[in-house]
Structure 1
């Protein structure tokens, strides 16, 4: 409760070192679902405010 842990795990990149992908950068997205059944409180607004990320777009 009260925390989310994100940690790397082994995968194909670890099992096949000859592909030389171990140190490669990777983009990813973390999608989280928050459920609070039976609770009448706005949990979205404070979470959104804490996680707002500034993004830039090149055109």
Structure 2
């Protein structure tokens, strides 16, 4: 009876867990890379906006 649950059509439960684990790791790595890229882009855009505001304040202060 245990063999029925341990093996389904030649595909063992260990193989299934390894495939699931591998897929999860690849998905997490891809997600982290995308997250870091987006965060870096947003930070650059935010810094550019702050710099433009500071420049505008400095120009207004000179006048």
TM-score range, shorter chain: under 0.3
Higher strand share: 2
Q: TM-score, normalization: structure 1?
A: 0.23
Higher helix share: 2
Q: TM-score, normalization: structure 2?
A: 0.22
Q: Which has the higher contact order (CA 8 A, sep 6+)?
A: 1
Larger-Rg structure: 2
